[in-house]
Amino acid sequence: DVKVTQSSRYLVKRTGEKVFLECVQDMDHENMFWYRQDPGLGLRLIYFSYDVKMKEKGDIPEGYSVSREKKERFSLILESASTNQTSMYLCASRDRGSLNEQFFGPGTRLTVL
Amino acid sequence: QKEVEQDPGPLSVPEGAIVSLNCTYSNSAFQYFMWYRQYSRKGPELLMYTYSSGNKEDGRFTAQVDKSSKYISLFIRDSQPSDSATYLCAMTKNSNSGYALNFGKGTSLLVTP
């Protein structure tokens, strides 16, 4: 079974802190994604990566950056957390050519105070 | 206009009812259509996948795509309380690995015993 794991299920940070969200997948997938999910807004794509050291902006990249130094790991970075970044963050991975099989992690509920 | 529209609900039905969940979309280039199910406090998981127009059946679930109307549906027969979840439609233009999925906002379904 594909497994996508995220470093924390719940995280509380203060405004202005630098926040790292880690995602690891164990199936050698090329593509990895970061979404945020908010009530009434659904899933919104922040960034995605289709290879090591490659990244593409999604729909809402402002205030975020990403890092993909190894194939299995995709990190989301909030350089200076703000209260409007309080959200559920979901990581996903997908094999190249397997369009339909996008696997999600369990999510990290981030609260910024 | 958002590319994918989905009524958020909530939708409440009695056990055993037939459920119809729908999405409309504006981009005629979309060719690949998916339905994800998300239980509370979990990541979404793939439920059904279809390519182009037509129907696809899997047990109690039927996915239907009408490209001429830009409309997709998920039908659940003999609904069970365990079907209570948020259902998200997703679609994309191309099977190329670089394309991200476009998600609807999700419909919340409650099946009451």
pLDDT one-digit tens code per residue, A4-30: 999 999 999 999 999 999 999 998 998
Point out which residues pair with B108 in neighbouring strands.
Answer: B86
Alpha-carbon span A59 to A69, nearest angstrom: 22
For residue B24, give both structure tokens: 């409309």
Alpha-carbon span B91 to B105, nearest angstrom: 12
Question: Above 70 in pLDDT, residue B39?
Answer: yes
The C-alpha of A62 sits at a distance from chain B's nearest C-alpha, in angstroms, of 18
% residues pLDDT > 90 (chain A): 77
Identify the residue whose tokens are 């127009």. B53
State residue A100's pLDDT score: 58
**Which residues of chain A lie closer than 8 angstroms to B99, CB-CB?**
99
State residue A96's pLDDT score: 77
State residue A2's pLDDT score: 63
Q: What is the mean pLDDT of chain A?
A: 92
Nearest CA in chain A to B7: A40
Mean per-residue pLDDT for B34-59?
91
Query: Residue B19: pLDDT band by 50, 70, 90 thresholds?
Result: very high
Question: Above 70 in pLDDT, residue A1?
Answer: no
For residue A41, give both structure tokens: 């807004």
Contact A96, A84 (CB under 8 A): no
* Three-class secondary structure of residue B12 per DSSP: strand
Task: Assess whether the previous peptide bond of B10 is cis (omega < 30° from 0).
Answer: yes
What are phi and psi for residue A82, nearest 5 degrees? -130, 160
Residue B18 forms contact with A (CB below 8 Å) = no
